[in-house]
Amino acid sequence: MKKGRPFVLFIVLGALFYGEGLPGRLHAAPHSAETQDCLSCHIQATPGIVSDWQQSRHAQVTPAEAMAVEPLSRKVSASEVPQGLKSHSVGCAECHTVRAEAHKDTVEHNGYSMYVVVSPEDCRTCHQEEAVQYQRNLMAHAHDNLMKNPLYGQLIQAINGLQTLEGTSLQTLPPMAHTNEDSCLNCHGTDVRVQGTVSRDTDFDTMDFVVLSGWPNVGVGRRNPDGSNGSCASCHARHSFSIEVARKPETCSQCHKGPDVPAYKIYSVSKHGNLYGALKGQWNFSNVPWVVGKDMKAPTCATCHVSLLVDEAKNVVAKRSHAMNDRLPWRIFGLIYAHPHPREARVHTIKNAKGLALPTELDGSWVSRALIDADEQDRRRATMQAVCSACHGTQWVHGHWQRFEKTIEETNRMTKTATDIMVQSWKEKRSRGLPDNPFDEPLEKRWVEQWFFFANSIRFSSAMMGADYSVFDNGRWFQSKGLREMEWLERMGSLQSTRR
Amino acid sequence: MKKGRPFVLFIVLGALFYGEGLPGRLHAAPHSAETQDCLSCHIQATPGIVSDWQQSRHAQVTPAEAMAVEPLSRKVSASEVPQGLKSHSVGCAECHTVRAEAHKDTVEHNGYSMYVVVSPEDCRTCHQEEAVQYQRNLMAHAHDNLMKNPLYGQLIQAINGLQTLEGTSLQTLPPMAHTNEDSCLNCHGTDVRVQGTVSRDTDFDTMDFVVLSGWPNVGVGRRNPDGSNGSCASCHARHSFSIEVARKPETCSQCHKGPDVPAYKIYSVSKHGNLYGALKGQWNFSNVPWVVGKDMKAPTCATCHVSLLVDEAKNVVAKRSHAMNDRLPWRIFGLIYAHPHPREARVHTIKNAKGLALPTELDGSWVSRALIDADEQDRRRATMQAVCSACHGTQWVHGHWQRFEKTIEETNRMTKTATDIMVQSWKEKRSRGLPDNPFDEPLEKRWVEQWFFFANSIRFSSAMMGADYSVFDNGRWFQSKGLREMEWLERMGSLQSTRR
Amino acid sequence: MKKGRPFVLFIVLGALFYGEGLPGRLHAAPHSAETQDCLSCHIQATPGIVSDWQQSRHAQVTPAEAMAVEPLSRKVSASEVPQGLKSHSVGCAECHTVRAEAHKDTVEHNGYSMYVVVSPEDCRTCHQEEAVQYQRNLMAHAHDNLMKNPLYGQLIQAINGLQTLEGTSLQTLPPMAHTNEDSCLNCHGTDVRVQGTVSRDTDFDTMDFVVLSGWPNVGVGRRNPDGSNGSCASCHARHSFSIEVARKPETCSQCHKGPDVPAYKIYSVSKHGNLYGALKGQWNFSNVPWVVGKDMKAPTCATCHVSLLVDEAKNVVAKRSHAMNDRLPWRIFGLIYAHPHPREARVHTIKNAKGLALPTELDGSWVSRALIDADEQDRRRATMQAVCSACHGTQWVHGHWQRFEKTIEETNRMTKTATDIMVQSWKEKRSRGLPDNPFDEPLEKRWVEQWFFFANSIRFSSAMMGADYSVFDNGRWFQSKGLREMEWLERMGSLQSTRR
């Protein structure tokens, strides 16, 4: 026995007592007849789904009960929930049939009009505020923001296009749909479309199934068959829909770990991530509202970016917002440069002076009309700093932000230098720039890494004080080395061209 | 106290009750006199080993008790266990002396014929089925599969050979034995050989010890002094021999994390790994059989590849198999290309048309006689899909596999393009190919990374939906960049050769 | 409920009993009036800090109580603690005011002379032995060891200097202070200096705050405003000052994960790290002394390098030492070569034959007078091997160390080969070496990676048997490839120079 393990003893003489709402305990709320019907087969057909759901709040608490708690603890934000849904659990039928008429993926299934792809519009029935806020995120539009930007289309082509050798030169074919789904759209979200239906023998009967392209997918900007976009299951995964899972940083790591956006990797070597890794087994990730210092001793991604936070006296430190940019003065994910956060979530509609769908010019200046102004930046910075200040003194918070914002400026200047080399190469025709693909030659690929990998790493690292990534792990070492290698490549290119 | 922590209260009035078989509790089964004798010194000589073992099932349950449980829960697969071993714990003497005559590493040790290196043949005494199945894995032969393949011998030489500068050229010496043991053979398994004995002063007495080369090692294909191969301790680590440890993915990460075979890294950013990381503290990793959805809400490596799985009604979802290829239609670890799984585990005996010990030709076509046929692939795919289907609907499973198998094909085509550049370079003598080492020049090293790092990453990522690794983290970004750099290097090489 | 979860039931009829000192439980020791005063505002101003502290031993145990326990369990090493501090908790005032006169960062704050930056000299009041031992670490002097070494100054310049394109050539400006603080000094420690005071409106009143440069920072060699160096909070993080956190490897990962010093990454794929990851929830990280095999089944960083270890009979396996080099015969972090550990912690004072502040010459020979001799190496090796031997047999330990020390030698020889290429390039003026910056050209940067990334990875991997990192993840694959690319770059450079 590990000493020092926290536990509480409820003594009930002569009886076994189970605490209310404990995970793993099945306090089923009454299920609807429809859901009971689903369960009768699916407990055998997909036992993992059923067990997962049975342990969820959805199976254990009715919407009516969920709406009765005090405001700060409420998880159901809709002021009204349809009468027919109020008094039983939120089960199979409640999610997979409630808006059947709006869903192109609806099929007849054992007498029910059932659809596969539950969307944020379905969840909105009870979680209205979150569904609405979520649409204000760039993430909610991640599919379109990528696929409707012609410049990014060239980037995808340069990455995902199938290459073949013709003579001594590489040729690139357009990427296949499945390749994009298997790579970029895995996170950005696919376009889920109904291709028809198919009949299959199952353990129960011969049954019709809808055939979907772009499926499976839980990308954040998924285009759904009901016309909506996004997927709540990106973070509230699978059939537990757990707030605990969404609050833990492993969830965010799914899409925020790579060299382009290494947030999780950096978090995990920051002091915050260090404490999370060491102590998470002792923290409370289910409590609503979430009490700083008591429920957790260091923040996770959700703490700083999403969650409703209070102190022990229930004073609100930060309001919950599923529009994560409410706390973001800067967009540090450089495209090509870091910049004030965009005003609108559908960033593919921004156009810079050259007509490119980018929030900055090639020289680093901002497309200001598309970006929030300094006042709005101040408001958002203050919102985020209120979270910092729950655990850090004034000097700490001010010093940290000052250093971070200087680093944003510095990395932009280093990106400008890389872009200067690139522009020179394009001008002197040693590389082929726009309208040709500006991302497919060796020098161009180095240039992309300068801003997409190294400048991003350094900024995320600065934001979270995750030291290694600001120096040697895709940080300044690689940023400075990359510049020197770009200079060298240009020199070799010039040598080569004089030989032709 | 973390609210929501699952716990159960057994109330026993006026008494302290301990549940059976709880880790950390010492319910010692009776120990043999021989083991008692070992313990009397070793509790002081190697206290960590003794404590570890005392907390194991081996110390707490006799084979007779272990064999008495219902078939689905049995961990001892032998139908008969030697009479003398049945009624006491499985202790020091039971493992380290039971087959002394078969072990070249046996020495006299305080009156016992004792050996150091316990092998799968020793474990087979009780765990017969697992020991036999394990030999059907490529892993069980990982030492020979590497060391008896002359082509791989050239790869080892190119990696591990000591290099010196002679004039302006690098020379490579053959790798030293200790270097191979410290690198490749750490995972593949060393060849453990007896070099003699040595006398050493200890806290107890002057004693003889056997001197072993290739030791320490817990590689999966270790050659043991009793002539057997493999090591159960690779996964059932050290003296707990715990099923919990083997079922957790950290165990597999030891050898499956690097850029060549990034399974664990990708798992950890997949939704499965996300849920494991967030919730593992609440799951049951010791239950046999393992109940999907109840004992765990997302699979670990073992769930999909090894374990006996049931639903809550104890219907079998998948049978246990220590021959992991039973569920593997494809070998996605490309050498040089991905291909249907090999029929036989000793893959170093395969020969392609050029006489190389490879399961494919250089152009990507398969050495079909050595690989399983489409029917066997269908059977294995169905076995694996049964696991998927425990938690995912039909559309999800079919869509996932279709996308995955397209990605296998696509990565093979990209590898073919890289190989085309390589073959051209060899043909035009800009690189020196076979019989010279085909892995030691700059272009050759780029070529190796195309299939060994990038194509592998993309395929593992596709298999587990771990998005980052399919694009930016050793994925398609590096695959397409690598091709462009190979093309560029060839162009520079041709420039250089015209200068000579 | 997870079966097999360890728990103990203390039955106290009719009453709720809480065990002593359980984390999460608030057994406040009496607080001083001054601390009570601080808390009255700060419970609202910085609730996270207050909650964190309330759950710490400092809030729950008085120094007098802490000093009364048996010697092996004592955490307070001072033989005498000032009378005024003995009988109440170690609170805000006790740490932030006790040495106000020694602190340049002291300000008047609501009637108290309070300082922000608590230093090892402050902690020394109770933890004397640890504070003294810590100063014997290279880490304690990490700021000066980096910043006072002119050669490392050139390395910093090459990494952190802002680069601009002038014509077709890159120019490098000196690094900005904030850049160094955001990168190297994040781990090495900043120089925290008082810049003045500033008046700010707060929720309570208008107040004066000290303005600090180099703040925030918890780097190990931080220069503090009281003239001391180091930060106990580097490992005993924030206001819990927890031994549990310091013993967990996530803490060390903050600065020991990057490619230069990948200790944590390698640990995490070693068998030790595998077991830690899989089982840490069941281990005891708070027990003092720490019982091998019982409190933990595999070591963390602290187990091998710092902690007081005993067996179950309380025989001492290893004495606690906050001078971590007590167990280190080698310094495997190559600068440029691995070498016997330096005698003195202030390594910037070492000079080699060329006058460079390095512990080795460029050809790999050691600056012996500055390094420990073979006898001292033997003593330190024996101290470390005593830890190994708690869980491993004699053969295992000897075989492991023999292999490890051969790898040290081998990597030094490979670094020598890289340096030979580099020196040749400098000699023939294809690269510009000293007195010019020897770290800023493409070939030079490759050379740095040979020893700083690849040789280091291989050695750390060998030390902990973390296989992947010795071969494919920044290991021997990259070491051998790097040499071939250096050779190729030199050939291209020679081609280029004949063209001029």
pLDDT digits (tens, 9 = 90+) for C289-310: 999 999 999 999 999 999 999 9
pLDDT surpassing 70 at residue C205: yes
Q: Give the residue range(s) of CATH 1.20.850.10 domains in chain C.
A: 325-499
Nearest CA in chain C to B22: C4
Name every chain C residue with its beta carbon within 8 A of the beta carbon of B51.
291-294, 297, 312
**CA C31/CA C37 separation, integer angstroms:** 10
Q: DSSP class of residue C73?
A: G
Number of residue pairs across A and B with CB atoms under 8 Å? 237
Confidence label for B11 from pLDDT (cuts 50, 70 and 90): very low
Query: Which of A4, A55, B1, B55 lies closest to C1 in space, CA to CA?
Result: A55
How is A172-233 classified by DSSP, letter by letter? EPPPPHHHHHHTHHHHH--B-EEEEEEEEE-SS-EEEEEEEES-S---TTPBPTTS-B--GG
**CA C471/CA B152 separation, integer angstroms:** 14
Nearest CA in chain B to A163: B414
CA distances to A173, A193, A215, B449 from A231, rounded to whole Å, are 31, 15, 13, 36
Nearest CA in chain B to A186: B467
Per-residue model confidence (pLDDT) at position C498: 56
Of B6, B250, B284, the CB nearest to C277: B250
**CA A212/CA A219 separation, integer angstroms:** 15
C30, amino acid identity: P
What is the 3-state secondary structure of B168-211?
Answer: CEEEECCCCHHHHHHCHHHHHCCECEEEEEEEEECCCCEEEEEE
How is C236-267 classified by DSSP, letter by letter? S-TTT--HHHHHSHHHHHTTS-STTS-HHHHH
For residue A198 the two structure tokens come to: 């198919």
| Vertex B325: Cα angle to B320 and B326 (nearest 5) | 50
Run of H or E including A339: strand A339-340
User: What number of helices (H) and strands (E) belong to chain B?
Assistant: 22, 11
Pairing, β B330-331 against β B339-340: antiparallel
Half-sphere exposure of A386 toward its Cβ, with a 13 Å CA cutoff? 21
Per-residue model confidence (pLDDT) at position C493: 81
Number of residue pairs across A and C with CB atoms under 8 Å? 235
Per-residue model confidence (pLDDT) at position C181: 97
Note the pLDDT tens digit of each residue in B188-209. 999 999 999 999 988 888 999 9
Q: Which residues of A461-488 are buried (b: 16+ CB within 10 A; e: fewer)?
A: bbbbbbbbbbbbbbbbbbbbbbbbbbbb
Nearest CA in chain C to A411: C162
**CA B251/CA C270 separation, integer angstroms:** 9
Per-residue model confidence (pLDDT) at position C467: 76
Taking only Cα atoms into account, the Rg of chain B, rounded to an integer number of angstroms, comes to 26
Distance (Å) from the alpha carbon of C483 to chain B's nearest alpha carbon: 8
**B492 and A492 Cβ atoms separated by less than 8 Å:** yes
Which segments in chain A show pLDDT lower than 50?
1-25, 499-500
Q: Please, what is the average pLDDT of chain C?
A: 92
Of C19, C47, C186, the CB nearest to A311: C47
pLDDT surpassing 60 at residue C7: no
> B5, A9: Cβ pair inside 8 Å?
no
Per-residue model confidence (pLDDT) at position A20: 33
Q: DSSP class of residue B454?
A: I
Q: How many CB atoms lie within 10 A of CB B436?
A: 13
Task: List alpha helices for B47-112, DSSP H.
Answer: 47-54, 57-60, 63-67, 92-96
How is A237-251 classified by DSSP, letter by letter? -TTT--HHHHHSHHH
| Vertex A338: Cα angle to A332 and A344 (nearest 5) | 80
Q: How many CB atoms lie within 10 A of CB C381?
A: 16
Per-residue model confidence (pLDDT) at position C28: 80
For residue C450 the two structure tokens come to: 């040979």
- The ipTM estimated for the assembled molecules is 0.93
> A182, B403: Cβ pair inside 8 Å?
yes
**A143 and A221 Cβ atoms separated by less than 8 Å:** yes
**CA B385/CA B405 separation, integer angstroms:** 13
Nearest CA in chain B to C283: B24
Bridge partners of residue B292, in order along the sequence: B296
pLDDT surpassing 80 at residue C352: yes
Q: Which residues of A237-272 are buried (b: 16+ CB within 10 A; e: fewer)?
A: bbbbbbbbbbbbbbbbbbbbbbbbbbbbbbbbbbbb
CA distances to A167, B425, C216 from C191, rounded to whole Å, are 60, 55, 11
Q: Tell me the torsion sign for CA atoms B231, B234, B235, B241.
A: positive
Mean pLDDT in residue range B1-26: 34
Per-residue model confidence (pLDDT) at position C447: 98
Q: Please, what is the average pLDDT of chain A?
A: 92
Distance (Å) from the alpha carbon of B141 to chain C's nearest alpha carbon: 18
**CA B481/CA A145 separation, integer angstroms:** 24
**CA A253/CA A271 separation, integer angstroms:** 17
Residues 6+ apart with CB under 8 A from A347: A138, A141, A145, A357, A359, A370
Note the pLDDT tens digit of each residue in C389-443. 999 999 999 999 999 999 999 999 999 999 999 999 999 999 999 999 999 999 9
Per-residue model confidence (pLDDT) at position B5: 35
Name every chain B residue with its beta carbon within 8 A of the beta carbon of C289.
none
Name every chain B residue with its beta carbon within 8 A of the beta carbon of A453.
472
**CA A211/CA A195 separation, integer angstroms:** 5
Q: Can you give the length of chain C in residues?
A: 500
Q: How many CB atoms lie within 10 A of CB B109?
A: 17
Nearest CA in chain A to C219: A467
pLDDT surpassing 70 at residue C95: yes
> C11, B13: Cβ pair inside 8 Å?
yes
For residue B253 the two structure tokens come to: 């990460």
Is C376 exposed, middle or buried, given 0-12, 13-18 or 19+ CB atoms closer than 10 A?
Answer: middle
**CA A73/CA B416 separation, integer angstroms:** 58
Please measure the distance between the N-terminal and C-terminal CA atoms of chain A and give it in whole angstroms: 76
Query: Can you tell me whether residue A309 is helix, strand or coil?
Result: strand
Q: Which residue has the tokens 């899989």?
A: C278
Please measure the distance between the N-terminal and C-terminal CA atoms of chain C and give it in whole angstroms: 76
Is C83 exposed, middle or buried, given 0-12, 13-18 or 19+ CB atoms closer than 10 A?
Answer: exposed
> A278, C183: Cβ pair inside 8 Å?
no
Name every chain C residue with its beta carbon within 8 A of the beta carbon of B202.
394
pLDDT surpassing 50 at residue B119: yes
pLDDT surpassing 50 at residue B55: yes
pLDDT surpassing 60 at residue B291: yes
For residue A386 the two structure tokens come to: 């209120």
Note the pLDDT tens digit of each residue in B397-453. 999 999 999 999 999 999 999 999 999 999 999 999 999 999 999 999 999 999 999
Query: Can you tell me whether residue C366 is helix, strand or coil?
Result: strand
Mean pLDDT in residue range C268-295: 96
Q: Touching C: which chains, 3+ CB pairs < 8 A?
A: A, B
Of B47, B178, B218, the CB nearest to C406: B178
Query: Can you tell me whether residue C107 is helix, strand or coil?
Result: strand
Q: Please, what is the average pLDDT of chain B?
A: 92
Name every chain C residue with its beta carbon within 8 A of the beta carbon of A395.
116, 209-212, 215-216
Q: Which residue has the tokens 């995972």?
A: B187
Q: Can you give the length of chain B in residues?
A: 500
Run of H or E including C331: strand C330-331
Q: Identify the weakest region by mean pLDDT among B398-402, C18-22, C204-208, C262-266.
A: C18-22
Fold of the domain built from segment(s) B325-499 = Hydroxylamine Oxidoreductase; Chain A, domain 2 (1.20.850)
pLDDT surpassing 80 at residue C8: no
Per-residue model confidence (pLDDT) at position A498: 56
Q: Tell me the torsion sign for CA atoms A252, A253, A258, A264.
A: positive
Note the pLDDT tens digit of each residue in A255-301. 999 999 999 999 999 999 999 999 999 999 999 999 999 999 999 99
> C480, B22: Cβ pair inside 8 Å?
no
> C399, B216: Cβ pair inside 8 Å?
yes
DSSP strands (E only) in C173-328: 193-201, 206-213, 290-291, 309-310, 316-318
CA distances to A399, C100, C195, C208, C334 from C109, rounded to whole Å, are 19, 12, 17, 7, 47
Q: Which residues of A299-313 are buried (b: 16+ CB within 10 A; e: fewer)?
A: bbbbbbbbbbbbbbe
> C46, A391: Cβ pair inside 8 Å?
yes
Distance (Å) from the alpha carbon of C326 to chain B's nearest alpha carbon: 22
> A413, C441: Cβ pair inside 8 Å?
no
**A143 and A227 Cβ atoms separated by less than 8 Å:** no
Per-residue model confidence (pLDDT) at position A497: 64
**CA B369/CA B199 separation, integer angstroms:** 53
> A257, B407: Cβ pair inside 8 Å?
no
Is A153 exposed, middle or buried, given 0-12, 13-18 or 19+ CB atoms closer than 10 A?
Answer: middle
Q: Which residue has the tokens 């690689």?
A: A478
